[in-house]
Structure 1
Amino acid sequence: MKRRNFIKKAGITGAVLGTTPSIFAQDFSPNSNTKKSTLPIAIATWNFHEATKKAGSLLDKGTSALDAVEQGVMVEEANLKNTTVGNGGAPDRDGNVTLDACIMSPNGNAGSVVYLKNIEHPVSVARKVMEDTPHVMLAGEGALQFAIQNGFKKQNLLTEDSEKAWKEWLKEKEYKPIINIENHDTIGMLCIDKDGDIAGACTTSGLAYKMNGRVGDSPIIGSGLYVDNEVGGAAATGMGEAIMKSVGSFLVVELMRNGRSPQEACKEAIERIVKKNDNHNDFQACFIAINKDGEVGGYSIHDGFSYAKYQDSENENVKCKSYL
C-alpha cells in the first residue's frame, strides 16, 4: 500500500509539473522579486538601529509583532539624545513638549494619543487606548488623565539641552525646516513576526517650535501609519502636513493591495505628494512599507533618507531612492 500510494502521488506530481510549469519555474534566487523573505523582519524610518535591534531580537524569540513594535519604538522615546521623539523632544513655541503616537495591531485595531504632555512613552498609552477603551484617539488633558489612571507616571520631558536650544530659537523665532532634519525625525516602525502577522507604531514630538496645539501625521491612522494584515503596512516621516493631505500610509497599503510592490507603492505615493505641492523642493516626505511576503521598500522626495532593517539577526541601514 505504501508503495502504491507513493507511485500514485508521484504520478499526480508529474502531471502537475507537466501541465503547469510556470508555478514551479519561478526564480527563487536571491535577486528574484518573487523570492519570499525570511521572517521575522523589523524596519524603521531613518537609522534608528537600536530600535530595530530591540524589536528584531524580540521577534527572533517568538514575540508577537505588536509587542515587538511597541518595545522597539520605546527605545527612541527614552533616548534623551533624540530630540524629535519622546523624552527630551524639542518643545513647541511656548516651551511645551507635546507628544503624538499611534499603534496598529494585526487584527485592525488601533490606538492613538495627541498633544500628550509629561508622559515618556506615548506609544504605550496609545496601546492602552486601543485595548482598554471603545475609542481610537485621546487628546491633551484627556489623554494625560487616562495615562495617569492607568499607572503612567508624570515627568518633566524638557531636558536642559532642549530648553537651551528653544531659548536660543526664541531670539529670532524663525522657522525653516531643514531637509532630512525637518526639526522632527519621527520613528515609524513595522514588524512582521514568524507567523506573518504585521503590526506598526509611530511616535514623535512633532515639529520643533511648532504652534501650540499643532498635531502632525504621526498619530493619524492612515497618514503616519497604516496596517492591513491581509496586505502589508506602511509608515511615514517628514513634513506631516503634506503627508496628511494625501493620507499617505493608507495610500501605500492600497497600492500594494492592487499589486504594487512596497517599493513601487512608496514611489507612487511620493509622486502624488510632489504633484500636489509646488513647494516640494522645500520639504522632505518619506515612506517605508512591507508586504505579507516580507518584501520591503522605501522612497522619499529628497536624497538622504534611509531605513533601518533587522532580518536574520542582521541589522542594517538601507539607503532609499528619491524623487529628486
Structure 2
Amino acid sequence: MPLGRVFGDLSVFDLLGNFVPGVVLMGSVLLLVPSDRLEEVTSPSLAVVLVLGVITFALGHLIQSYAARAVGQRETFRNSILLHQSLGRSPVLNFDTNPTVHPRLYGIYSRLHPNEPAERNLDDALNVGSKSEEDTSSVDDQIPKSEPITDRSKRIPARFYRAIIEAIVMVRIKRDRPLSDVTVAGKAWTVCRVKYDLDSTYNEYGDLLHLMSSDVESHTQSSRAFRFQALRNFHRGMWISCYSSFVLMVFIGIAQSCPRIVSFLSTTLGIEPWRPVAFDLWMSVWTICLGYALFTYLFWELKEDYEEEFIEYLFTDFLVANTALLEDDSNENESPDPQRNSPWYQ
C-alpha cells in the first residue's frame, strides 16, 4: 500500500519526462551485464524491482537535467513577447545579422544545408491586417502550400548534425524565432500588461512565463499547454536517452570489433574481461546503433515542434483564462499604450 501511494503521487511529468527515458537508458545499460548474470540482475523479486525502479527514476532525472542544459535557454517565448514590445524594432530580433551565438557550429550547419527556406519576415508579420481592402492577389496565392518531401529530405543532414552536436556540447546552434501566430502572442502581452501592471521596458521573461503558467493552472483543470509541455519533456528526455544509448552501443560495437584493444585495456587496468549480453542478441550491435541514431534525430525533431506548440497553447489558454480582461481592454476607446495602434491588435 505505501508503495502504491508513492507511485500514485507521480504526475504525468514524472512518468513521461523522467521514468520512460530512464527505462530506455537502463535497458541499454543492462546490455553490458555478463550473460550469466542477467537473470540474477533482472530477477522478479520485489527488492530487485524496487532498486531497479529507483535507479531508473534517478537516471531519468539526470537525463532531464542534462537535456535542459543541452536545449539551452529557449527564446520562443521571449522573442514572441519582444516582437510586440518593440514592434519588431529590437536588435535582438535581427536574425539575419545574429542567427546564432555560436558562429563556428552554425557555419557547419549552414554549409550542410545552404538552401534553408527563407524565414518569415517580422515586418510582414506585424503588418498582417494592414493591407488595403482591394487585394488583387488570386485565390491560389492565398492557399497555404506545403513543402515538398524532397525539399524536406534535403534538410535532414543539417538537422541530424544539430541533434547530435547539441547533445554533445549542450548549446543551441540556431536561435529561436517568434511564433508564427503573432496575434495570439500580442493579445497575451496586452493582457499581461494590464493584469500584472507591466511597462514596455519589462524584460523578466522567465518570471512572466512562470506567472502565466501559474495563472493558467489556477483557472483550468486540464490545460492543453501543460499536456504539450509534458510531451515536450518526454521527447526531450528521449532525445538524450537515445543519444546516450547510441554512444554506449558504439563503445560496445568497438569492443566487439577490436578485441585486442579490450584485452590490452583490461590487462592494463587489471580488470577481468566479460562477454556482455549485447554480443548475443539476434541483431548486430551496429544495427542497434543505427536505430538509436535514428531515434535520436526523430525525438530531437519532436521536441523542437512541441516546444512551439507548448508556447502557443500557453498563450491561448492564458487568453481563455482572462477573457474578461481581454474584453474590457478591447472596449476602451483610448489608451496610452502606443501598441494599441499596431496592426496585430486590430
Give the TM-score, by structure 1 length: 0.25
Answer 1 or 2: which has greater helix percent. 2
Greater Cα radius of gyration, structure 1 or 2: 2
Higher strand share: 1
Higher relative contact order (CA 8 A, sep 6+): 2
